[in-house]
Amino acid sequence: MRLLAILILVIFIAAGVVLGALNADLVGYDLAFAQVHLPKGAALLGALVIGWLLGGLTAWLGVSMGQRRLRRRQLHADKKLSSKP
């Protein structure tokens, strides 16, 4: 299982290197406050990484907020129980 994962990772890295080399020409972005010029491959990779990170962050925030809500409810229930004679 671990070997397969390493193999797939190596294939993707190799593909990334090849695509990066084939698409080395620069593309320009106008971000309104600044203009950036990046190689096409790097722009693609950057967009993917940012998308992946944003997805992860959203899910993490969702889970942790849910857990916090649960914990608060539990604390509230505990207090109620302990206040009962």
Partner 1 sequence: MNLMSVLVPLVPAAFALGWWSSRRVGARRSGAEVSELSSDYFRGLNYLLNEEQDKAIEVFLKLAEYNRDTVETHLALGNLFRRRGEVDRAIRLHQHLVSRPGLSDAMKTVALLELGEDYMRAGLLDRAEALFSDLVAMDAHAPSALRHLIAIYQHERDWHKAIEHARRLEVMTSEDEAPMIAQFYCELAERSRQHGARAEARDYLRQAFKCQADCVRAFMLTGRLHAEDDQHVEAVTAYEAAIQADIAFTPEILPPLLNSYARSQQMERAEVFLREMLSRYHGVSPVLALTQLYRQRDGERASIDFLTSQLRLRPSVRGLMALIDATMDKIEGEARENFLILRDLTRKLLEGQAMYRCSRCGFGAKAHHWQCPSCKSWSTIRPIHGVASE
Does 12 help bind partner 1 (rule: CB under 8 A)?
no
Least distance from partner 1 to the Cβ atom of residue 44, Å: 7
Q: Which is nearer to partner 1, 21 or 48 (CB)?
A: 48
Residues facing residue 39 across a β-bridge: 26
Q: Measure the CA–CA gap between 17 and 8, rounded to whole angstroms.
A: 14
**E strand or H helix that includes residue 35:** strand 35-39
Site string for partner 1, 27-66 (x = CB under 8 A): x------------x--xx--xxxxxxxxxxxxxx-xxx--
